[in-house]
Structure 1
Amino acid sequence: MAAVTKSVGFMAQLTSSVKRFVFRASGFNQMGLYHDDCLYETSDVKEALRRIPQNTRDDRNFRMQRALHLSLTKSILPKDQWIPFEEDREKGRYLQPYLEEVIMERKEKEEWNKK
């Protein structure tokens, strides 16, 4: 039993390490972007963006404009302004509840249209 617990703990630690590595390798944090700022804008994502509060939308637009400017100037933010992994996990999934709602509604509509 102890070996299984050790194995599960090791796998959780490994998974966390891989997630941190991928987060850092993406480079989006160096431009001040959160996870949900980088989602491909499908119709579901566009609808979820329409539903978020105005202040959240304004914050997102600021981050996107700043990242665009940094990209055009081929630069990154100073290291003290990079988004840390923990902050991205805490605040960077701001769109997920809205997106889940939109997807559920779309699937429900599809089910109704089948009948």
Structure 2
Amino acid sequence: MSYPSLAPFVLKRPWLRNLLTPFAGWYSNAAGYRQLGLRADDLISEENEDVLKALKRLSPQEAYDRVYRLRRAIQCSVTHKLLPKDQWTKLDEDIPYLTPLIEQIRAAEKEKESLDTLTIIKGH
């Protein structure tokens, strides 16, 4: 399921992007996942079939790092403590690693569906 996004609208207008960038940074910090050492893609729910396929496509090192981040965040949550500030996820480290794979899987499924429903019309 895809949700409508205002991102393309905002990115096409530099004045609007400049206006919203500080708010976006504030919101990311207020969300609290970086204080637990998580990345934004770590928050994607694993209940979707496409996400499960994308997780299988991760490299072994990236899969290990994801599990480590999740376990460390769970431990912080159980103890009601945040990580030391030097271990927080920095803005430049919070890059999408799972979203591109999910988009590839969805595009491939869409292409497969369009090819499966292809109708061939014979010429005279």
How does the TM-score come out when normalised to structure 1?
0.82
| Bigger radius of gyration among the two | 2
Structure-1 residue corresponding to 2:100: 97
Any idea what the Cα deviations from partners look like across 1:55-93, whole Å, max 9, x if unmatched? 0000000000101111111111011211122321xxx30
Q: Is the 8 A contact 1:48 1:98 kept in 2?
A: yes
Structure-1 residue corresponding to 2:39: 34
Deviation at 1:26, TM superposition (A): 0.7
SS in 2 for 1:83: coil
SS in 2 for 1:75: coil
Structure-1 residue corresponding to 2:86: 80
Which of structures 1 and 2 has the larger relative contact order (alpha carbons within 8 angstroms, sep 6+)? 1
The unaligned stretches of length 5 or more in structure 2 are 1-12, 119-124
Any idea what the Cα deviations from partners look like across 1:39-70, whole Å, max 9, x if unmatched? 12211111111001000000000000101111
How does the TM-score come out when normalised to structure 2?
0.76
* Identical columns (%): 35
Given the alignment, which residue of 23, 27, 42 partners 2:28?
23
Letter in 1 for 2:67: N
The unaligned stretches of length 5 or more in structure 1 are 1-7
Structure-1 residue corresponding to 2:66: 60
Higher helix share: 1
Letter in 1 for 2:27: V
The CA RMSD measured in Å over matched residues stands at 1.5
CA distance change for structure 1 residues 13 and 113 in 2, over 3 Å: closer, same or farther?
same
Runs of 4+ in 1 over 3 A off after TM superposition: 112-115
Structure-1 residue corresponding to 2:6: none
Structure-1 residue corresponding to 2:7: none
Rounded to whole Å, the distance in 1 between the matches of 2:116 and 2:75 is 44
Structure-2 residue corresponding to 1:106: 109
